[in-house]
Structure 1
Amino acid sequence: MINGLAEYKKRWDIETDNAIKPGLDAIRSALGELGSPEAEGRFVHIAGTNGKGSTAAMLSAVLQAHGKSVGTFYSPGIIDLHDQIQINGEPISPQALDEAMKELSGIETALTDFELLTAAAYVHFRNASPDYVIIEAGMGGRFDSTNVIDPEVAIIPSVSKEHTNFLGEDIKDIACHKAGIIKKWRPVVAGPLEEQVMEVIREESQKQHAELIVPGTPYQGMLSLKGAHQQWNAQIALEAAKELLGTSFDGQLAQVALSKASIPYRFEAYAEGLIFDGAHNEASIDALVETIRAEFPEKSIRIAMGMLKDKPYEKVLRKLEAISDDFVFLDFNNPRALPAEKLFAVSNSKIKTIKNIYDILPVNGYGEVTIVTGSLYLLSTLKNPDVLFLKHYRNN
């Protein structure tokens, strides 16, 4: 479900295909009908399990600090589809997206919703002509609809188990999907990957004659984004920026840019004692737990969470129960959402309740921190101005 897409489909009488089909034939055919917008511009392609959005935001900040205009395509959206397509941090306007959808209304190739949005992004970036475009893969990489570009640099920040029904249960199979964004003679920057994953990335790099760049240490400067994992993402962004900018790269400009770079829902402090974090799989929960321990060693922690039913919710719960025995489970409106009752049933927490997100979620205040996590879709719903939960915090 892509929030806000239905309005454009209705306006331009666009029908989409509900079945997810492996392969790139449909998106390539559609883009061909549109004059191949994916062939214009200087692209960066990012695939990986976690760290894609943060790395993209930091790289964008560094490039902008050097006077470059930067388009970004994020997945998923925060509020709706407009913030998935950005230029210099500004979401695409309804008018600009309308222009792109108008072009798409004339094609004959049937696309899925995500393919449609991907095509719209490429059309918009062609129309706007930013200096660079950073593309975040939606799922996997090799057969993801974004993988129709020849990027200046490919980036793979992390690889762990996810979307196993599509990508496979074996970590090396998942790594193979991520490695699919590596292109011939184009450099690839990889994060601190486990050896069996790195083996796959290394083999694909050699096959494509692509230089493999692996930072030996994390970034040592100050960041606004919290967590040790963000230091690695920052260094990855720096290495990519050096490849893109060459001799014009300025380390001081980059340092200032990284200190200010931000992205919603990455350990975001919404109010005093209230943190939003979009962790939704085992690896990102591990990073969240580590960051909570580092940032709030003396605080009592309450976890408010809702998850999608295709995520490893029991394993996620066990990890979070290591730092808290106080949980609030949330129902939210998404066809893939796991009922809060299911989380309640499998939880080992001493204190646990179920709430609808449209109820006010109280925070006890001094001495306690509430972490809201489990799904970006949950957090984007909470950003809705009609949700009483947020009205409470705006008024206090």
Structure 2
Amino acid sequence: MRSFRAVPVMAAASLLLTALCAGQAPAAVSSGRAGVDPATAERLDDAITAAMKKEGIPGVGVGLWFDGGGSYERSFGTADKAAGTPMKADLYTRIGSVTKTFTVTAVLQLVDQGKLRLDDPVSKYLGGVPGGDRITIRQLAEMRSGLPNYTEDTAWLAELRADPARSWSPQQLLATAFRHPATSPPGTRWEYCNTNTVLLGLLVEKLSGQDLAAYLREHVLEPAGLDDTALPKGAEIPSPYLHGYTTFSPGGNVVDSSGWNPSWAWAAGAMTSTLDDLHTWVPALTGGKLPDGGRLLEPGTQAQRVRTLPTGHPGVGYGLGIADVNGWIGHNGELPGYETIAARLPQQNAVLVVIVNSDIDKDTGSLSTLIGKTVTEIATPDHRWELPAAAQPEATPPPATPTAPPPPKPPKP
């Protein structure tokens, strides 16, 4: 999913150790559940740091909270390698495809307002979509439209690699996608596709009369108490922020991507947030309830949102802009340099947030998945965050080489 995916191969072991050891003073542990007692917290510390050292991960932030008692919050490693700044929990980060959970929430609110129906064809509201009279809003949100994914267009990928600061409009992204034929008939196959969510973002704008960023701020972020979450118009990210590291560069070198423009991901993956805001968001997303007792969605709409369907990958289901990974309900996200997990385990009333500032994965499949699995196989062994390799395509293409550059693979938000 890709974000259902990422650290640079450091030049020397000393650099790895510097990145790993900076800022690892443990946060306080609140005991009360077996999952986060001091002994378990120590096991988690050791396992996470070992994984970081093995994969060369610059920085990791982890939060695991159990309703009614017990939490584990840690920051490991380095947030900015150039300055040697340690990782901290209050840093802003780019959250990639976790953005989809916000965009689809906005769509479902429009359903509750009577402005659309999930089983309406997209052509009823938006023109120019190939086969749009047979593709429903529900199929867009469930990733079952069969539309081509613009982030798999090789010419577009080359443009993005050459100029990651470029601004892209939603219409340019859709034009790229629609140069290609459909991948399957609507409703017949689950296939992760950013084109779907870009269309949903345009749908929100058309039916609400607001731009997507403004709608989300007024109707989703502010009601949910998410003061540190936003959809930027361009490359902006609030300070203090986490620096992200990637090899998605013309020469395949490790570069800092924190100033890159994520407009190419827009409604599908351009938002910024913090670990604390994601901790607040996950219960609202998965339960539909707000901190003040209100609701983001009507109960019936919320029930439809979290009813996931098989994806064809073991242990992985997908609903309306939301995933089920072995019982964990939420989403992950990736952009060049950034990876995120934000999910809830209803069976144990647990919330998990993982933030990683690299997508250079050394063939592990995904660094955020590696950390998520490391945490959950200790804290919730019956429910591991574990995505099959086939469900998490490359977040960034492999490094280019002067002699034989490989064909690029898509970076997916």
Scaled by the length of structure 2, what TM-score is found?
0.30
Scaled by the length of structure 1, what TM-score is found?
0.31
Q: With CA pairs under 8 Å and 6+ residues apart, which has the higher RCO, 1 or 2?
A: 2
